């Protein structure tokens, strides 16, 4: 049975008129992306065309999804909004707080015990405000959304950067911070700069060792981690139609790694088959009735260069398997060149662990393709050389693959089945190692491989590949092994070769599950009590941030000048810190502890200008705050890339940082900063980054005349009495400037609800 059928029917009923209005307003054929965006304007039917990459537009998303780590802060904010119930269908998914340590059953029971306070809070707040609640063990948010909520032509936002996974079913699904989710749940429009359009034409058809994962690994290599910033990526062509719906989800999921706003595929036979296979035939029937609206116009795909801002073409028939990494998901290596790269770069050739699954690659198809290799290892008398773990994406998938015998196959080669949760992908992994600092290599079918992300060890070289390549290399225990060409020595001393993996898109006997893990909210939540213990170390009710004082900012100090890559993992680490995601003050003790200080090349070591001593970033900032001194964080390119976690914006705001000045921002993080009332500015000339000195006193001028498109001025007062002055840019529109003045968007929402 499908959820929210009435809502989906209303969306589909208005599609024809809204797309007609959009064609009239734009005067041209439309891409699928444009159809969905124009069909979801909060104002209704389009009256004028929007300029890509320039105009801020208000949208009305169909639904909101939140994972447990981000849901805590999102719902703590929503509790301040003054509404009795969410305005759109919304869900919470308990997937982030389960640590992978022993195995599925033990790890899940441990998580339920140690996180009971948080789970009870999320369950009760969901019950009260009409939110669907997916219990611990139900699965990873994106897989559960794909199986239950994603629908062609829809629009959703989610408090996780891999929300675009739903694009595999033709949905514009965008990762956001909790403040954005709060707005939509409160019934307010959701603002987004109208994105540019990047078309990826897929021709041919995958075969052999190549998989959908290799499409996005190749795209990441072409575009890099920031090449998709400001774009929605739309895949089309005969090759796109040949891919399974879950394969398309994998590609869209990892679009977050190129900075894309989201990624999407059109509705086709594969999408219809997946909807019917997951007991949503009623949605497939409705989609079939408006199928012409759920893909781009023929003229667009016939001449894509005329309608997209950028076009890439990939021939799937020629696509080679890829392995990306280490330390960044866009360092792409064709399999045929990877062994040479390993040797030339001195990366550890011994593979210690292979990990498959996660929200990116845990479909039935993924599991069966990997299991076909595990079965070969058994049949060909091969001993698996590396540790091997399997993370199912949902209880629906886990139950079905267990029924069909695939989990047993993995266990026979020594595989450990982990809980249906994020686990090692986000650092929730108690890794078995004799030296947690040793230089080593692992390979995963996950999406991110930043330093320290999986196991906290900066010397772990993490690589990303398809589940079948991960499985083959885990069997070999050697990064230089190429399963397409090389042989292995089995336990009888014989040379054997692995055959190409074989997979099944959808289970022949259909999906099955005893308890999917869903808890419906109370029909009337007015009597439900949400209790937060004021002594709790895990949860803390929020206090509103202070409004802007109405003056320019002067005599600020430099907290840190971050050098090189500074992701949200550097700004607000996950792993063991996840337990504090509902307690702003406690989690602020991880603020910027992963960032590298430009002046001493160390992490979590900055100069305290009050004492003259070096110390941890959070403690130093707390000292500044106690003494009434505002500070500035300076950063490099693509600052804040990675996850949607708004804690990376809320922690500096909470501890008294006044501005973030960088060469460029990642999209979600910049929006999160604006939502929290923080000043997010960029160097007009990136060379001015070099002028910032450790002992500077900093002024930010022009705020009393803060206006869209108008530059501000930064003045650096150096310790030797000299100074530098230069222009800085911002992307604030009129509404966002009001957020800044009010001290955050939530302060405005609260006033509106009270009026």
Q: Which residues are catalytic?
A: 95-96, 160, 448, 643, 645
Rounded Cα–Cα distance for residues 407 and 420 (Å): 13
Neighbours of 100 (CB within 10 A): 24
Closest to 727 measured CA to CA, from 677, 674, 670, 661:
661
Rounded Cα–Cα distance for residues 46 and 17 (Å): 10
Rounded Cα–Cα distance for residues 438 and 20 (Å): 60
Neighbours of 522 (CB within 10 A): 14
The secondary element (H helix, E strand) that includes residue 716 is: strand 712-717
Closest to 216 measured CA to CA, from 415, 340, 342, 361:
361
Strands 155-158 and 172-175: parallel
Two tokens, residue 145: 């959304």
Q: Give the burial string for 630-659 (b: 16+ CB within 10 Å, else e).
A: bbbbbbbbbbbbbbbbbbbbbbbbbbbbbb
Q: Determine contact, residues 643/161, Cβ cutoff 8 Å.
A: yes
Strands 322-324 and 332-334: antiparallel
Two tokens, residue 685: 């000339």
Strands 614-615 and 631-635: unpaired
Rounded Cα–Cα distance for residues 755 and 612 (Å): 49
* E strand spans, 135-236: 155-158, 172-175, 190-193, 196-203, 231-236
Measured in whole angstroms, the distance separating CA 439 from the mean position of its chain's CA atoms is 27
Measured in whole angstroms, the distance separating CA 736 from the mean position of its chain's CA atoms is 23
The secondary element (H helix, E strand) that includes residue 655 is: helix 647-655
Closest to 364 measured CA to CA, from 250, 263, 265:
250
Closest to 295 measured CA to CA, from 581, 33, 541:
33
Strands 679-683 and 657-662: parallel
Q: Determine contact, residues 648/669, Cβ cutoff 8 Å.
A: yes
Q: Is the dihedral of CA 640, 146, 426, 116 positive or negative?
A: positive
Q: What is the DSSP string of 381-434?
A: TPPP-SEEEEE-SBHHHHHHHHHTTHHHHHHHTT-EEPPSS-GGGGT-B----S
């Amino acid at each position: 049975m499908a959820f929210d059928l009435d809502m989906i029917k209303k969306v589909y009923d208005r599609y024809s008129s809204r797309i007609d209005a959009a064609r009239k307003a734009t005067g041209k054929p439309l891409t699928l992306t444009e159809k969905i965006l124009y069909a979801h304007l909060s104002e209704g039917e389009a009256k004028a065309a929007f300029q890509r990459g320039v105009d801020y537009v208000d949208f009305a998303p169909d639904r909101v999804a939140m994972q447990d780590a981000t849901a805590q802060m999102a719902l703590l904010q929503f509790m301040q909004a003054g509404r009795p119930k969410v305005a759109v269908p919304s869900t919470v998914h308990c997937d982030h707080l389960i640590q992978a340590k022993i195995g599925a059953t033990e790890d899940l029971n441990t998580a339920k015990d140690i996180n009971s306070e948080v789970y009870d809070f999320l369950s009760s707040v969901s019950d009260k405000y009409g939110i669907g609640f997916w219990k611990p063990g139900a699965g990873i948010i994106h897989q559960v959304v794909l199986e239950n909520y994603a629908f062609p032509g829809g629009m959703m936002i989610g408090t996780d950067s891999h929300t675009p996974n739903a694009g595999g079913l033709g949905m514009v699904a965008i990762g956001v911070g909790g403040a954005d989710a709060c707005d939509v749940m409160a019934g307010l429009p959701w603002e987004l700069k109208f994105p540019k359009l990047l078309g990826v034409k897929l021709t041919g058809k995958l075969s052999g060792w190549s998989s959908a994962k290799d499409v996005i690994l190749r795209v990441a290599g072409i575009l890099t981690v920031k090449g998709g910033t400001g774009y929605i990526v739309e895949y089309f062509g005969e090759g796109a139609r040949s891919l399974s719906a879950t394969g398309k989800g994998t590609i869209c999921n990892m679009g977050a790694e190129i900075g894309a706003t989201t990624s999407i595929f059109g509705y086709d036979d594969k999408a219809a088959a997946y909807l019917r296979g997951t007991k949503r035939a009623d949605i497939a029937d409705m989609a079939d009735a408006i199928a012409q609206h759920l893909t781009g116009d023929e003229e667009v795909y016939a001449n894509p260069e005329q309608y997209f801002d950028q076009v890439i073409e990939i021939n799937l028939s020629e696509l080679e398997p890829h392995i990306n990494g280490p330390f960044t998901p866009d360092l792409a290596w064709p399999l045929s060149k990877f062994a040479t790269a390993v040797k030339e770069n001195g990366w550890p050739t011994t593979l210690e662990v292979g990990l498959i699954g996660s929200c990116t690659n845990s479909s039935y198809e993924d599991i069966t393709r990997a299991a076909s290799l595990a079965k070969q290892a058994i049949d060909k008398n091969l001993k698996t050389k590396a540790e091997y773990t399997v993370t199912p994406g949902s209880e629906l998938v886990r139950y079905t693959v267990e029924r069909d015998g695939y989990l047993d196959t993995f266990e026979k080669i020594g595989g450990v089945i982990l809980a249906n949760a994020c686990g090692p992908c986000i650092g929730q992994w108690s890794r078995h190692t004799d030296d947690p600092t040793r230089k080593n290599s692992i390979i995963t079918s996950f999406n991110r491989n930043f330093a320290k992300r999986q196991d906290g060890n900066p010397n772990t070289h993490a690589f990303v590949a398809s589940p079948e390549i991960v499985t083959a290399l885990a069997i070999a225990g050697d990064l230089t092994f190429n399963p397409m060409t090389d042989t292995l020595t089995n336990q009888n001393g014989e040379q054997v070769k692995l055959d190409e993996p074989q997979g099944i898109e959808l289970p022949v006997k259909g999906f099955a599950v005893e308890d999917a893990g869903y808890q419906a909210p109370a029909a009337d939540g007015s009597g439900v009590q949400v209790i937060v213990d004021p002594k709790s170390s895990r949860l803390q009710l929020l206090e509103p941030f202070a409004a802007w004082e109405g003056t320019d900012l002067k005599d600020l100090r430099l907290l840190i000048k971050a050098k090189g890559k500074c992701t949200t993992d550097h700004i607000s680490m996950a792993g063991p810190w996840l337990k504090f995601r509902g307690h702003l003050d406690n989690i602020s003790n991880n603020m910027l502890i992963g960032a590298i200080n430009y002046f001493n090349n160390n992490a979590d070591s900055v100069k305290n200008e009050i004492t003259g001593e070096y110390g941890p970033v959070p403690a130093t900032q707390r000292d500044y705050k106690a003494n009434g001194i505002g500070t500035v964080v300076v950063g490099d390119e693509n600052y804040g890339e990675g996850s949607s976690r708004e804690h990376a914006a809320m922690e500096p705001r909470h501890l008294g940082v006044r501005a973030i000045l960088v060469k460029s921002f990642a999209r979600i993080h910049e929006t999160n900063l604006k939502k929290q009332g923080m000043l997010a500015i960029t160097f007009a000339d990136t060379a001015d980054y070099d002028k910032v000195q450790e002992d500077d006193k900093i002024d930010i001028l022009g705020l009393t005349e803060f206006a869209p498109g108008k530059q501000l001025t930064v003045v650096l007062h150096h310790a030797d009495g000299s100074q530098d002055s230069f222009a800085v840019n911002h992307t604030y529109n009129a509404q966002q400037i009001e957020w800044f003045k009010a001290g955050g968007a939530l302060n405005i929402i609260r006033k509106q609800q009270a009026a």
